[in-house]
Amino acid sequence: MDSSTAVYCSTYNESELHNILARWNADSSHAGVLALVAEADKNVIPQLQNLFNRQSTPLIGAFFPELLIKGQLTSNGFTIMKIGSSPNSIIREHISDSEECMDDTVGSIAEICEHNNSADNKNTLVLIIDAMVPKIASLLEKLYLRLGDAVNYMGINCGSESFKPMPCIFDNKQFVQDAVLAFTIPNEQGAILEHGYHMPNKMIAATSTSNNCIVSINWRPAFEVYSEMVFSQYGVKVTKENFYENAVHFPFGIVRADGEVLVRIPVSLQDDGSLFCVGEVPENSVLALLKAEDADSSTTVEHIVKHFAAQAPQTLLTFYCAGRRMHMGDNAASELSALQQKLNSTNIVGALSLGEIGSSTKDGYPLFHNATLVCTAWGS
Amino acid sequence: MNQEQILSILYEMAMVMGAETRVEPLLNKTLQKLMYHTGFPCGVFISISQETTSESLEEDTCINVIVETVIGNHRLRNRIGETMCLPKEFVYGKAELIENNPRIPSICGETADYQYLLKLPVGEENAFLLLSPSPPRNDLPFTQLFEPLLKNFAKTLQLCQINESYTARLVEEREHAYSDLRRFRAALDTTDDCIFIIDPRHMKFIDFNQSAVKALGYRAKQLLTMGPQDVMDELSLPQWRTIINRALNDKKEITEIITSHKQNDGDTYPVEVRLSAFKKNHQPLLIAVSRDITIRKKAEDELKAYKEHLQELIAERTRELEASNRELESYSYSIAHDLRAPLRSIVGFTQIILEDASHKLDDTELNYLNKTIGAGKRMGTLIDEILELARLSRIPITTQKVNLSTLASEVIDTLKTNDSQRCVSVVVESGLEAEADPQLVRLCIENLLGNSWKYTKRRPQAIIEVGLYRADTPNTFYVKDNGAGFDMQYVDKLFLPFHRLHNDSEFEGTGVGLATVQRIIERHGGSIWAEAEVGKGATFYFTLQSGPNNGSLPNPISVSG
């Protein structure tokens, strides 16, 4: 691993960390650190906070289901990543409690972006959001209305793949849930996102939704229609008990006029028969039931490689959707290996994410997705 | 895209647009949805400007547009509301993707690297322009999707514009009404009267002015839990219900009651409450205007006490005056009575001198003595009349039915007997009757007819009439003659004792007769007045009992008092 910008630690070793921080501080006196922690080792977070506070080094981070190291997934340890200068960051909690809370959050995030922007260099705004926060797409829409193309956008959802509420975002002092961590990094290229799903022919309408929940499809209870469609088309019986394991293979696609789809993985079945997705589903959205084989792995990798081929970065911060990993199974590892091989000189680090923000084209309209890979160059 | 996919997106967009009623959110949401569906990072909505600039004039292919809204480009956002000059091909025509046009990057300034323009015209006046540095990843369904979508949007935009204009007018009218209401409310709060709105179903106040809060000393929240029966507890709840039901039924009337306000500290003060009913949303309500009448009540009490005191004063003063009158009458009677004896002596001794020593006296001396005797006799007559007048005030009256016609005829007969030389035509109406004291009324008739007889003595064809005045006054009698009459300007002196309107040389008299008549009439509870004209005669009207019509005679001249 390129130890000048990112270091993976399988266990907490204070002296080793001390040495790394000393080296980074020597290079850049106000270096801050982004920490990506594997859910299995989230207990290390208080130790990291303690150490970084003693070192007077700014720390921000979150935990994820698994980590991505050199194009391979691992369920233990943590990765620390050097941010060149003191990170311009903010953590805001309870962002979806009310319109006012969301507007305040948008205002605070916009301020750090506008404060840190320069005419010459465009920054990338990175959003790490607790996966249990509803209305993430609305937050993104409001941010884009305010900031527009003043920044590039990249974002991921963190937390547990169990989709149970728990603290997952931290800085030097806080370790919180139902929150968003926002920070900017100098990055001209922005982020690129890809999923490889194709739009099927048969459409259905989300006739009633509530934030992340699809309540009814074609004016009937959502789960009833969903399970019927999965069974009739693929012969798979989806029940409450096997819901997540099966549903990741049959996500919804929100249809767009340009022929692209926005993937929404239903991750849990609610008591009232509605389907809880990671990410909002606007009412009257046109949905499609995506086929498992629609996820075209080779196209996905090619698209990303093409974006970074011209100027391959030393480190590529990469997030891979946990739902996609579950759907792809062993192919997920192959997909990541293929990406690492094609960007041979690049150190691919990151984590499994529970939702992703980005655009499939450079400077494109950012959206909140599921089941994607999202990548951005890290460091100079 | 297949037909099902296109219809589905049209359905979704129709639902998004149909949910909006105002222009700004409609523009933002539609623009954001278009960006979402196309992946274009920058969207602009423009309207055609009517203004021309040198740039647009120079280039025939250009047109001025106004930037209405922008999403995605922070530099262009600063130009919202401004006019910019664009090639006409960017604005007019069909929905299409324009690329490789050198004017595209300049739309957003030099720093933007947009190379692709998605033109989506909305009618003839507006257009969405979507900009992107990259081409769309797939072909866009212009004809099938964007054209019907933009037509639908144009109609929705028009509806929103109409709605906004209508809403703005409604808001303005509402603000106007609120402003009036605030002024009215301020006026209500300024008045000293307490004003309450009462819900008669629950017998609670539902609103009141500041004066009510201040005057009663309760907090507004407390007052809202109370009703008239709590702050005007002189009247019980059933009594209030009765009053309020009456007020509700008397739709056009105002019900007034006098009661008192009970303040929070237990003090009370009197109030006059005016209740009137009205309806709000078909619900009957009452407005009660309660006025503090402490000062008025105090003034009324003082006036009442003063009136009572005044009556006492008048009664006392009357008693004093009556006593004084009695003393005066007694004194007058004594003086007159005492004067009679020396007067008789003067007249008697003068007559003796005249009889015994007339041969010793010359004519002048005899004339003096005769004048002394004549004057003494006149004085005697005067004293007798004064004594008679005084007597009339004191003697008790005993009334009975008196035939005035008979009485008048008897008096005329006596006059004719005593003065047989006169030729007088007398007409006495028969059947004149009255409840009166016979002796006193005879004296009254004697005086009136005596005057008529006297003042017609120079008329060769003297006429005297006695009758009943037949206007609206059934009990009014009159005595009329065609004698000397008198000047009406002296009528107020006519009934005063010792006042005469004629010289003794013309018509002899003492000036006590009419005073006597008036005294008799007044003692019968009646009144007397006169009408006359110099040289043409006089008419004396009189009643013997006070009646309701006495005061409504034609040109009556009151002589009472």
**Nearest CB neighbour to B74, from listed A149, A282, A365:** A149
Quick check: A286 and B8 CB within 8 A? yes
How far B149 CA lies from chain A's nearest CA (Å)? 12
Query: What is d(CA A153, CA B130) in angstroms, rounded to the nearest whole number?
Result: 19
- Per-residue tokens: B486: 């008198």
Position B549 confidence tier, pLDDT thresholds 50, 70, 90: very low
Question: Closest residue of B to A145, CA-based?
Answer: B71
* pLDDT tens by residue, A25-40: 887 766 789 999 999 9
Share of chain A above pLDDT 90, in %: 42
Q: Does A121 touch chain B (CB under 8 A)?
A: no
Average pLDDT for A207-232:
91
* pLDDT tens by residue, B377-391: 888 888 887 777 777
Is 80 exceeded by the pLDDT of residue B559?
no
Among the residue ranges A147-156, A183-192, B180-189, B226-235, the one predicted with the least confidence is A183-192
Chain A residues whose CB is inside 8 A of the B70 CB are: 148
Average pLDDT for B66-73:
93
Is residue A97 packed enough to be buried (19+ CB in 10 Å), middle (13-18) or exposed (0-12)? Answer: exposed
Average pLDDT for A306-325:
87
Q: Does A256 touch chain B (CB under 8 A)?
A: yes
Question: Closest residue of B to A284, CA-based?
Answer: B12
Position A311 confidence tier, pLDDT thresholds 50, 70, 90: confident
* pLDDT tens by residue, B531-542: 999 999 999 999
Strand partners, B436: B400
Q: Sign of the C-alpha dihedral, residues B77, B81, B84, B90?
A: positive
Quick check: A365 and B145 CB within 8 A? no
Chain B residues whose CB is inside 8 A of the A201 CB are: 2, 4-5
Is 80 exceeded by the pLDDT of residue A379?
no
Position B522 confidence tier, pLDDT thresholds 50, 70, 90: confident
How far B29 CA lies from chain A's nearest CA (Å)? 10
Per-residue pLDDT, B410: 93
Treating both helix axes as pointing N-terminal to C-terminal, what angle do B147-190 and B3-18 enclose, rounded to 10 degrees? Answer: 10
Per-residue pLDDT, A15: 93
* Mean residue pLDDT across chain A: 88
A36: which residues sit within 8 A by CB, 6+ positions away? Answer: A61, A62, A63, A64, A67, A78, A79, A81, A349, A350, A351
Is 70 exceeded by the pLDDT of residue B190?
yes
Q: Which residue has the tokens 């809880």?
A: A276
Q: Does A306 touch chain B (CB under 8 A)?
A: no
How far B271 CA lies from chain A's nearest CA (Å)? 52
**Nearest CB neighbour to B134, from listed A205, A285, A364:** A364
Average pLDDT for A262-288:
88
Strands (E), A114-186: 123-130, 152-158, 169-171, 175-176, 179-186
Alpha helices in A99-221 (DSSP H): 99-116, 136-147
Among the residue ranges A148-152, B18-22, B55-59, B263-267, the one predicted with the least confidence is B55-59
Average pLDDT for B275-279:
89
Per-residue pLDDT, B558: 29
Query: What is d(CA B40, CA B136) in angstroms, rounded to the nearest whole number?
Result: 8
- Per-residue tokens: A222: 């959502």
Position B560 confidence tier, pLDDT thresholds 50, 70, 90: very low
Position B78 confidence tier, pLDDT thresholds 50, 70, 90: confident
Quick check: B39 and A144 CB within 8 A? no
Quick check: B36 and A367 CB within 8 A? yes
* pLDDT tens by residue, B342-365: 888 888 999 998 888 888 888 898
User: How many angstroms separate the Cα of A193 from the Cα of each of A352, A359, B85, B509?
Assistant: 14, 5, 36, 144
* Residue A304 contacts residue A275 (beta carbons within 8 Å): no
Question: Closest residue of A to B138, CA-based?
Answer: A258
Is 70 exceeded by the pLDDT of residue A355?
yes
Is 90 exceeded by the pLDDT of residue B452?
yes
Is 80 exceeded by the pLDDT of residue B250?
no
A63: which residues sit within 8 A by CB, 6+ positions away? Answer: A36, A37, A38, A39, A42, A45, A158, A159, A160, A168
Residue with the bigger pLDDT between B290 and A380: it is B290
Quick check: B138 and A259 CB within 8 A? yes
Is 60 exceeded by the pLDDT of residue B528?
yes
Chain A residues whose CB is inside 8 A of the B113 CB are: 363
Quick check: B37 and A205 CB within 8 A? no
pTM of the predicted structure, to 2 decimals: 0.62
User: How many angstroms separate the Cα of B382 from the Cα of each of A61, A358, B336?
Assistant: 140, 140, 9
Average pLDDT for A37-58:
95
Strands (E), B391-472: 400-403, 424-428, 433-436, 462-468
Residue with the bigger pLDDT between B231 and B322: it is B231
Q: Does A120 touch chain B (CB under 8 A)?
A: no
* Residue A38 contacts residue A76 (beta carbons within 8 Å): yes
Share of chain B above pLDDT 90, in %: 46
Per-residue pLDDT, A63: 97
Is 70 exceeded by the pLDDT of residue B546?
no
How far A104 CA lies from chain B's nearest CA (Å)? 20
Is 80 exceeded by the pLDDT of residue B313?
yes
Of residues B477, B482, B398, B481, the one with CA closest to residue B430: B477
Per-residue pLDDT, B126: 93
Q: Does A255 touch chain B (CB under 8 A)?
A: yes
Average pLDDT for B523-532:
90
Q: What three-state secondary structure class fits B504?
A: coil
Among the residue ranges A140-144, A226-230, A300-304, A372-376, the one predicted with the least confidence is A300-304
B299: which residues sit within 8 A by CB, 6+ positions away? Answer: none
Query: What is d(CA B405, CA B429) in angstroms, rounded to the nearest whole number?
Result: 6
Among the residue ranges A195-209, A241-255, A338-352, the one predicted with the least confidence is A195-209
Per-residue pLDDT, A62: 98
Residue with the bigger pLDDT between B427 and B57: it is B427
Chain B residues whose CB is inside 8 A of the A282 CB are: 16
Query: Which helix H or strand E contains B5, and what residues bound it?
Result: helix B3-18
Is residue A280 packed enough to be buried (19+ CB in 10 Å), middle (13-18) or exposed (0-12)? Answer: buried
Average pLDDT for B412-433:
91
B347: which residues sit within 8 A by CB, 6+ positions away? Answer: B372, B373, B376, B377, B380
* pLDDT tens by residue, A1-31: 556 789 999 999 999 999 999 888 887 766 7
Position B552 confidence tier, pLDDT thresholds 50, 70, 90: very low
Q: Does B297 touch chain A (CB under 8 A)?
A: no
Alpha helices in A262-309 (DSSP H): 297-309
Alpha helices in B419-540 (DSSP H): 438-455, 513-523
- Amino acid identity at A186: P
How far B124 CA lies from chain A's nearest CA (Å)? 24
Position B561 confidence tier, pLDDT thresholds 50, 70, 90: very low
Per-residue pLDDT, B111: 62
Residue with the bigger pLDDT between A167 and A240: it is A167
A311: which residues sit within 8 A by CB, 6+ positions away? Answer: A189, A377
Chain B residues whose CB is inside 8 A of the A366 CB are: 41
Q: Does A367 touch chain B (CB under 8 A)?
A: yes
Average pLDDT for A250-279:
88
Is residue B313 packed enough to be buried (19+ CB in 10 Å), middle (13-18) or exposed (0-12)? Answer: exposed
Is 90 exceeded by the pLDDT of residue B184?
no
Average pLDDT for B435-457:
92
Q: Does A218 touch chain B (CB under 8 A)?
A: no
Is 50 exceeded by the pLDDT of residue A250?
yes
Query: What is d(CA A362, CA B499) in angstroms, rounded to the nearest whole number?
Result: 133
Chain B residues whose CB is inside 8 A of the A199 CB are: 1, 5
Per-residue pLDDT, A97: 84
Chain B residues whose CB is inside 8 A of the A203 CB are: 4-5, 7-8
Query: What is d(CA A129, CA A152) in angstroms, rounded to the nearest whole number?
Result: 17
In chain B, positions 38-57, which contact chain A (CB-CB < 8 Å)?
38-42
DSSP B520-547: HHHHTT--EEEEEETTTEEEEEEESS--
Per-residue pLDDT, B50: 80
DSSP state of B397: P
